[in-house]
Amino acid sequence: MNYSDDLQSRWWKLEEKLMERFEKKPDVETILFLIGIQELGDIKEKFTKEQKQDLMHVAVCTVLMPSGYYEIEKVDEDGWPHFGQLKAMPELNPFEQENFLKDHILLYFQNHELI
């Protein structure tokens, strides 16, 4: 089994757990949205389109923090974290980018004992 196979297997397990909880198969963007809500700690009935994009940005920065790509610079008066980029992202093709992100999402769930 190579790294890609292991990643896919772990990803399917995460999808399965989230399907049990939400009764719908989530895509990467949905999972990032959920992480963003988790990090913000503010569950609302509705988010604006801009807030949804901001939540996904919060999620991406959060999942990449352990690898040293981002750090929290401040939390504003509304509770939204703001990040600073510490190093450039690696140059990857779209498939590699998705796997890079999936691997960091899985690490986030593992570190937060959510899977």
**Amino acid, single-letter form, for residue 47:** F
User: Alpha helix locations (H) across the chain?
Assistant: 3-22, 28-40, 49-64, 94-111
Beta partners for 83?
72
User: How many Å apart are CA 90 and CA 51, to the nearest integer?
Assistant: 27
pTM of the complete model beyond 0.75 = yes
> What confidence score (pLDDT) does residue 13 get?
93
Contacts of 101 by beta carbon, 8 Å cutoff, 6+ apart: 28, 60, 63
Instruction: Give the pLDDT means over successive 10-residue stretches in the chain (115 positions).
Output: 78 93 91 94 86 96 98 94 96 95 96 78
Return d(Cα 78, Cα 66) in angstroms, integer: 24
